[in-house]
Amino acid sequence: MSELVLINVSGRDKPGLTSEITGIMGRYDVRILDIGQAVIHDHLTWGILAEIPDESKSSSVVKELLFRLHALDLQVRFAPISEAEYQSWASGRNRACYIVTLMSRDIKAEQIARVSAITARHGLNIDNISRLSARPSLKPSDDRIACIEFSVRGTPEDPEKLRSDFLHIASEMNVDIAFQEDSIFRRNRRLVVFDMDSTLIEAEVIDELAREAGVGEQVAAITELAMQGKLDFAASFAERLALLKGLDESVLAAIAERLKLTEGAEHLLRSLKSLGYRTAILSGGFSYFARNLQQRLGIDYVYANELEIVDGKVTGRVSGRIVDGQRKAELLKEIALKENVSREQVIAVGDGANDLPMLSQAGLGVAFRAKPLVKESARHSISTLGLDAILYLIGFRESETH
């Protein structure tokens, strides 16, 4: 009759340790039921659930392991596991698996305590905790990025309440928390579509144009209400455009030159490109500026509004159909079809109410530094870090990006 034994080893990490331990077990034809290892600051924690096929040889295996591990100056603990305990554990492995991603400038113990308390309260058990970001410097810095990923199992009774709890502490503690199913699509996204204004760039271009036209405050007020969802986008867009009538075409180049990229935008696009992702700008702004970004960042598709210019002057109109929220959602589906990817493999990123339709169509919709209405309506949000935090949401470690 076989015997099940849980073996836990800890101490200073050494090359060849796994080979030594499993080599001893191999001589007794031990079957490995589970295995895991973590190394933090050169300190090893190593666990293995072993099935010793011949119960009479159990003491010999344990004795030989104990002797060798003691010689290696490692601590070891053996615990017998009953068949019933194993079956109960194994059946639990079939429960739904989710990923909780905690992102901040610095990871504090209280943040982990609050996140783990919420998972426990909703009946989720933490299987694994991994650091995705690099080890931080001990020197203070404003641009630090820290990310920890929790793999959890269980089925929350009220997913919306769980999400609400995470959103509450994220706001309270100035962190970003994402909760998503650990499905086959999570690390298999293939297309990322971006809003432009206040997403890829820090400014709202129409507000910049308005300042040049001398109607800055008037247009900015309308823009803010539109982004909050308090005004119809198409109607407010036409109203703002009309105020730009007569603006000289020469100011476009000057504005394009001074537009500042959002934190993390270059790193994100460079990494996505190296990983084989396709990218697109779907913007309610203007194609002149979107094409400029396309060249700068190597973006594959651009869809935006064509600002009408006659005799070197802005007419206050656009050519063709306005790229509003509904059009963004349609374009997302059209590009996905063209690229032969499912909508579950699409990431959409935006900040305004007119981005909600495309965020809802994507497998991963991210409200980035968004207005409150958008943040509450989107499934995921990033407010604390830069755009490149999206790489953590799809499971990439900092060492895997460029």
Just list the catalytic residues: 195, 197
Say how far apart CA 250 and CA 341 lie, in whole Å.
40
Say how far apart CA 46 and CA 7 lie, in whole Å.
8
- Burial of 297-330, coded b for 16+ CB within 10 Å and e otherwise, reads bebebbbbbebebeeeebbbbbeeeebbbebbbb
- Tell me how far the alpha carbon of residue 309 is from its chain's centroid: 40
- Amino acid identity, residue 293? L
Say how far apart CA 251 and CA 248 lie, in whole Å.
6
Say how far apart CA 137 and CA 13 lie, in whole Å.
23
Question: Parallel, antiparallel, or unpaired: how do β-strands 313-319 and 346-350 relate?
Answer: unpaired
- Tell me how far the alpha carbon of residue 245 is from its chain's centroid: 41
How far lies 238's CA from each of 175, 259, 307, in Å?
37, 23, 12
* Count of CA atoms in the C-beta half-sphere (13 A) of 244: 29
Q: Contact 26/41 with Cβ under 8 angstroms?
A: no
For the chain, the C-alpha Rg in angstroms (whole number) is 27
Q: Which residues contact 124 (CB under 8 A, 6 or more apart)?
A: 98, 152, 153, 154, 156
